[in-house]
Amino acid sequence: LARINIAANNLADSFELVSGDVEDSRQLFDPERFSLVISNPPFYSNSSGRVSTRAQPLGARHHPDGGLERFIDSTAYCLKNRGRVVFIYPAHLLSELLSAMLARNLEPKVLQFVFSYPDGKSGARLVLVHAMKNGGNGLIVCPPLYVYQYQNGPYSEAVASMYRPEIRDH
């Protein structure tokens, strides 16, 4: 899917795609190689959540015990000092994510809760957490990000702007 998305967005010259397991990061990369890591790690243990019979969704949503810690260990290893990481994670599991990050000197800097739409009834589904390796204290909580304008409606202006090349490139 990554290769398809890179080609569809004409970004082949901007990416080097490395295939491998997160547990092999120490063999794949030198320490502190990256200044930015973006991660949407699997968030359910193998015995919880809606378990898919298809391998791709199963691997994207479920991890063996200690799976989150392996993603965060790999991130801390690969990230330069004062480098940034962005995690996308279920909002109801935020404490688990923050605890694991702080244990590895990944200091949360920005939190933004993601809602489906602004109805005031449903809670945040996801949270975006921007952190810095060895970043020290200081946290900003951003206004909510709404994916849609209303239930079954079009994308919100904020999300729609993410898909506009003229905005994305500036």
Nearest partner of 114 among 89, 86, 96, judged by Cα: 89
Task: Provide the 10 A C-beta neighbour count for residue 75.
Answer: 25
- Burial, 117: exposed, middle or buried (Cβ in 10 Å; 0-12, 13-18, 19+)? middle
SS3 103: coil
Q: Which residue's structure tokens are 């993410």?
A: 162
pLDDT in the model for residue 17? 82
pTM of the full structure = 0.78
pLDDT in the model for residue 167? 44
pLDDT in the model for residue 13? 87
The pLDDT tens digits along the chain (170 residues) read 888 888 887 888 887 888 888 888 999 999 999 999 988 887 666 555 565 565 555 444 444 555 788 889 999 999 999 999 999 999 999 999 999 999 999 999 999 999 999 987 889 999 999 999 999 999 999 999 999 999 999 999 999 988 766 544 44
Task: Provide the 10 A C-beta neighbour count for residue 161.
Answer: 12
- Measured at the alpha carbon of residue 67, what is the angle toward residues 66 and 72, in degrees to the nearest 5? 100
